[in-house]
């Protein structure tokens, strides 16, 4: 998705501030969390904890606790995953070109620990300030009530 204005695609490896081995992550995360966060898996739609939540708060990375999105940026995209029109700040996430599954997408990762969060899409016609949909996995997030 080369036309996404705000997110910058990058295949350049970065050094995460939180660096752990797979064995360390396995002891801290459930098997489902590990599969999604560390192996770029995807939870099934309409099954995650936050896909239809309207509770106010801040969504943080389930792996490292970095604040990523606010409930003010969350909207109902009807896709079965939590959707946001923008991250809390651009430096909270990083973007990677993802050409798996026979399509080109932009993967979104936590900038602090390099955990997989989901994908960002653009130009789908949602009535949001950015016309972007950050389609995140619930299992990658934890809602902190404010």
| Catalytic residue status for 135 | yes
Radius of gyration of the chain (CA): 14
Catalytic residue among 61, 110, 113, 135: 135
Q: Is residue 144 a contact partner of residue 23, using CB atoms and an 8 Å limit?
A: no
Tokens of 22: 């797979």
Q: How far apart are CA 118 and CA 6, in angstroms?
A: 16
User: How many helices (DSSP H) and strands (DSSP E) are in the chain?
Assistant: 2, 9
Could you give the residue numbers annotated as active site? 135
């Amino acid at each position: 998705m080369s036309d996404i204005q705000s997110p910058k695609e990058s295949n350049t490896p970065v050094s995460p501030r939180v660096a752990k081995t797979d064995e360390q992550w396995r002891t801290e995360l459930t098997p489902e969390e590990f599969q999604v966060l560390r192996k770029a898996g995807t939870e099934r739609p309409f099954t995650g904890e936050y896909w239809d939540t309207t509770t106010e708060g801040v969504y943080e990375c389930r792996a490292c606790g970095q604040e990523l999105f606010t409930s003010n940026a969350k909207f109902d995209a009807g896709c079965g995953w939590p959707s946001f029109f923008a991250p809390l700040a651009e430096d909270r996430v990083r973007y990677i070109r993802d050409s798996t599954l026979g399509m080109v997408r932009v993967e979104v990762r936590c900038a602090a620990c390099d955990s997989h969060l989901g994908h960002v899409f653009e130009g789908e016609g949602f009535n949001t300030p950015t016309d972007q949909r950050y389609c995140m996995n619930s299992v990658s997030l934890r809602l902190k009530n404010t």
